[in-house]
Amino acid sequence: MRFLEEKVASGQAESIAEAVDMAIQKVRRLENRQKLALATARYFEQMDTHSAAEESDIARDFGSAASAIDFDHEL
């Protein structure tokens, strides 16, 4: 409860309910990241050599294209 009260006192949340919602959102976001990481690992573990090579080519191409973007100015 102290954590939630500190969120309200610091102005990060307007109420205890909002602080609870923020905490729940953070936990769900962390859980979803973990699920995605596990699913991604499984995907690559089951991949055959040819598909893995294609994935590497695609990743390299995307990385190359993304390097030309100045994300600080895009946002």
44-59 pLDDT, tens per residue? 899 999 999 999 999 9
- Local confidence band at 8 (pLDDT 50, 70, 90 cut-offs): very high
Average per-residue pLDDT in the chain? 91
Rounded Cα distance between 67 and 16, Å, is: 43
Number of residues that make up the chain: 75
Per-residue pLDDT at 75? 56
pTM of the model: 0.62
Is-contact 4 23, C-beta < 8 A?
yes
